[in-house]
């Protein structure tokens, strides 16, 4: 039977999943850093197996581990069974706002865009090269993380720059985490009527807050690149462009140094001076004032985005938390919602503290706004996109 390998290289982790032609997920892998080591969690047959490795997590190693595991568990007999490989692409530009079959033109454009979103494009290029090596006969599908936001209204797409420059250089707000958004909305549709006014908080290493009205995006926090928006693990989010220019002069940064600084040394990591991991900061906040400050800023900025989007939507019917922090951290959900109580957003503390693995309402009976934790399934959504190209 034909198989589809789905690859999701995130800014702080890597995920792989193998699907059959019927859309059944046969096995999945999740690689994530933990201190100076990385952990691979393999989910197969209803069981999880954890493998711990030292050193740097690179795509060649990860895909080699995946390939060997598929053979060992008799999930595939030969690599030719994998006919399609779908790879998540996070890159600015109208060209990348469409799902495409990967070819030489796409690779060339992706390399050109690498400086704009290095946390994602570099890893994506690694994954693509590895996929070509391990599965040379597979069709590779570039699954756009911005396609969902192509429907943004112009008032949300444009910056306050001369329009001629925006058009000439392709500088628009493209938005990211669109695959996650599509997954969440599809889940809501499967449960019945889609609420008219929704705000989704995708809270992971990267953070996106999106406003959706009648199923379409009207605004989102990330912009031309994933640097814009709320505070993130290692990215500063919104910052005065003048401050960036001033900082570059003072620290005598060249372009590459500035790029690395903004993408890898700021955010929760930069503010705390300790870690980009919410779990570690929560454990240390009582004794470390910088850890406490980093968490306060993270929550405050999220609350500001949600509040502004309530204004944009003309009210709110449903607030959704998703991705690693949104799905796992009841503490952070509680802190964010405290800011929003005057909008009628009221959590139920008991519902909020429960372990959540499927779409669950966590709002109090007196809440005027529905609050839900909705686990995202980017891998299944990427499979759907990849499968749509299989007959082309």
Which active-site residues does the annotation give? Answer: 145
Q: Which two tokens stand for residue 116?
A: 């704009």
| 70 touches 39 (CB < 8 A) | no
Q: Whole-angstrom Cα distance, residue 34 to residue 14?
A: 13
Q: Which residues touch 107 (CB under 8 Å, ≥6 apart)? A: 125, 128
Q: Is the dihedral of CA 108, 114, 120, 122 positive or negative?
A: positive
Residue with the two structure tokens 């009205």? 213
What does the DSSP assignment read for 51-111? EEEES---HHHHHHHHHHHHHHTTS-SSGGGEEEEEEEE---SGGGGS-EE--HHHHHHHH
Helix axes 59-72, 118-134, angle to 10 degrees: 40
* H or E element that contains 316: none
Q: Whole-angstrom Cα distance, residue 288 to residue 281?
A: 9
């Amino acid at each position: 039977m034909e198989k589809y390998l789905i690859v999701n290289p995130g800014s702080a982790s890597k995920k792989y999943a193998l699907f059959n032609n019927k859309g059944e997920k046969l096995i999945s892998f999740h690689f994530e850093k933990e201190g100076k080591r990385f952990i691979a969690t393999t989910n197969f047959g209803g069981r999880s197996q954890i493998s711990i490795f030292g050193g740097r997590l690179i795509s060649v190693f990860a895909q080699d581990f995946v390939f060997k595991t598929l053979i060992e568990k008799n999930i595939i007999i030969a690599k030719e069974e994998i006919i399609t490989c779908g790879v998540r692409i996070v890159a600015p530009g109208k060209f990348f706002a469409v799902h495409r079959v990967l070819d030489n033109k796409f690779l060339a454009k992706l390399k050109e865009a690498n400086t704009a979103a290095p946390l994602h494009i570099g890893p994506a290029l690694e994954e693509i090269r590895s996929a070509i090596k391990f599965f040379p006969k597979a069709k590779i599908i570039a699954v756009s993380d911005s396609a969902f936001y192509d429907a943004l209204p112009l008032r949300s797409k444009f910056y306050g720059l001369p329009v001629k420059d925006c058009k000439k250089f392709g500088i628009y707000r493209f938005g990211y985490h669109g695959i996650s958004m599509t997954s969440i909305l599809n889940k809501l549709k499967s449960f019945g009527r889609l609420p008219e006014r929704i705000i989704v908080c995708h809270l992971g290493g990267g953070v996106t807050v999106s406003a959706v009205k009648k199923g379409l995006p009207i605004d989102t926090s990330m912009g031309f690149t994933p640097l814009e928006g709320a505070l993130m693990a290692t990215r500063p989010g919104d910052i005065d462009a003048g401050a960036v220019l001033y900082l570059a002069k003072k620290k005598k940064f060249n372009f590459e140094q500035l790029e690395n600084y903004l993408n890898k040394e700021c955010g929760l990591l930069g503010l705390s001076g300790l870690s980009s991991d919410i779990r570690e900061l929560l454990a240390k906040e009582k004794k470390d004032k910088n850890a406490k400050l980093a968490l306060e800023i993270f929550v405050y900025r999220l609350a500001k985005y949600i509040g502004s989007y309530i204004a944009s939507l003309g009210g709110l019917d449903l607030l959704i938390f998703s991705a690693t922090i949104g799905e796992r951290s009841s503490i952070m959900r509680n802190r964010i919602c405290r800011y929003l109580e005057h909008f009628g957003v009221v959590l139920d503390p008991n519902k909020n503290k429960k372990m959540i693995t499927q779409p669950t309402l966590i709002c109090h009976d007196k809440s005027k706004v529905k609050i839900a934790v909705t686990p995202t399934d980017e891998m299944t959504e990427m499979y759907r996109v990849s499968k749509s190209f299989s007959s082309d």
